Amino acid sequence: MTERPALTPVNLITGFLGSGKTTLLQRLLRDPALADTAVLINEFGEVGLDHHLLERVDETMVLLQSGCLCCTIRGELSSAIKDLHSRREVGRIPFFRRLVIESTGLADPFPILSTVHADPVLKHHFRLGNVIATVDAVNGGVQLARQQENAKQVAVADRLVITKTDLADEAAVEMLIPRIRQLNPLAPLWRVPHDPLDAEGLLSHEEFELAGRSERAQHWFATALMGQWRLNRYSHASGDVEQVRSPRASGKGGAYGPEINCHADSIHAFALVFEKPLDWTVFGIWLTMLLNRHGPRILRVKGILNVTGSPAPVAVHGVQHLVHPPVHMASWPDEDRRSRIVFIVDGLDRAIIERSLSAFLHTNGCDWKQP
């Protein structure tokens, strides 16, 4: 049996919305080298689904929902890791020798890394390990051009994984690589699903080193560290780390509702819930049409559907114009049998989507009203 590490490595899996982080994590967790791994998933929005989609539920899996680690719940991140640590120490959860964090696709990775690196308690028990960034071969070009967080995710990575190379033209992938290399010239790069993935290669035990990273990445890390030190000072003085949040988490409502579901000014998340089973054909056509029409403003759609005639749920995924084939899950993750669909949109009003769905379902003989 391997020695217990003095400091537990923390790996971050980052990458823009829908770029394949959960899929990669699911693949990695099947590798025996990753037995004894705790997982912390952060999801943006009012309804969390990734922990269900991962189809692994145990006490070493933690969901931090309803906010983005980088801008609203830094305090919660450090509390959640401390809680995992204390439960491990007293034997209340299975022993783990590694922690993997999957951040939301909107998260700036630097505040997350600086929390683990510089939190006055965490740094005595945990250390940063490799950062892995996924880049979507189909949507990556646009995402990198438009979203600064995505550039930071790629810049900080020790390992890069270009996903969906089976869906993109070879020429598109060849054009994407120089863009990635401008931000991160050196990190080893995998193309999936074609390249074999090994957990050891991706999540080796190397320490996170700042030296050797681009000047830009070093600057971003230093800025995030300064934020963490300010936070440490403030929480030390006030004695209450839970209350230490950025102004974005003030709870004040914005144009799109409570700010905890918002990131930047125009990006917000919401969920649609359906009490009755859905007709897959009707829903599938509507979703395809919706993404066709509003794709550039729909950063992500994902859901667990209760489909008429199916004993287990169906997972649906969309990213901008791309609708992925539905996946039949093995079983319901819990007692909740409602369909839940999360939208993360940029500058698109929720009411437009609700009206469109309601009208489409009505035309096709099914009625729906948001409960």
Binding mask 78-117 for ligand GTP (x = CB under 6 A): ---------------------------x------------
x/- map, 21-40, ligand GTP, by CB under 6 A: xxx-----------------
How many DSSP H helices and E strands does the chain contain? 11, 16
Select the span of 63-71, 78-86, 161-169, 277-285 touching ligand GTP (CB under 6 A). Answer: 161-169
Nearest-CA neighbor of 78 among 97, 108, 96, 101? Answer: 101
> Mutual orientation of helices 170-183 and 148-156 as an angle, nearest 10°?
80
Task: Pick the closer one to ligand GTP by CB: 44 or 368.
Answer: 44
Closer residue to ligand GTP, CB minimum distance, 93 or 348: 348
Q: Which of 123, 139, 210, 127 is nearest to 172 (CA)?
A: 139
Nearer to ligand GTP, 122 or 151 (CB): 151
The DSSP output letter for 5 is: P
Residue whose CB is less far from ligand GTP, 127 or 164:
164
Q: Which of 15, 45, 48, 111 binds ligand GTP (CB under 6 A)?
A: 15
* Structure tokens that stand for 215 in this block: 């000047």
CA angle 150, 102, 294 (to 5 degrees): 50
Residue 333 binds ligand GTP (CB under 6 A): no
Residue 303 or 368 having the CB closest to ligand GTP? 303
Q: Does 284 bind ligand GTP (CB under 6 A)?
A: no
Complex with ligand GTP: residue 167 or 282, whichever CB lies closer = 167
Contact pattern for ligand GTP over residues 120 through 159, marking x by CB under 6 A:
----------------------------------------
- Helix (H) or strand (E) holding 217, with range, is helix 215-238
Pairing of strands 126-136, 8-15: parallel
Residue 6 CB, nearest approach to ligand GTP (Å): 31
Q: Which helix (H) or strand (E) holds 302?
A: strand 298-305
Residue span binding ligand GTP (CB under 6 A) among the ranges 2-10, 14-22, 149-157, 351-359: 14-22
Among 14, 163, 261, 306, binds ligand GTP (CB under 6 A): 163
- From the list 70, 56, 145, the residue with the least C-alpha distance to 105 is 70
156 close to 213: Cβ distance less than 8 angstroms: yes
Which residue's CB is nearer to ligand GTP, number 46 or number 50? 50
Least Cβ distance, residue 22 to ligand GTP (angstroms): 3
Counting contacts by CB under 6 A, is residue 248 touching ligand GTP?
no
Measured distance CA(310)–CA(187) in Å, rounded: 43
Distance, CA of 69 to CA of 227 (rounded, Å): 14
Closest CB 62 distance from ligand GTP, rounded Å: 15
CA distance 40 to 228: 20
CA distance 241 to 279: 47
Rounded Cα–Cα distance for residues 329 and 314 (Å) = 6
DSSP summary character for residue 106: T
Is residue 300 part of the contact set for ligand GTP (CB under 6 A)?
A: yes
Encoded one letter per residue, x for contact with ligand GTP by CB under 6 A and - for no contact, window 196-215 reads --------------------
Burial bucket for residue 352 (CB in 10 Å: 0-12, 13-18, 19+) = middle
51 binds ligand GTP (CB under 6 A): no
Per CB under 6 A, residues contacting ligand GTP are 15, 17-23, 50, 105, 163-164, 166-167, 192-193, 300, 302, 317, 324
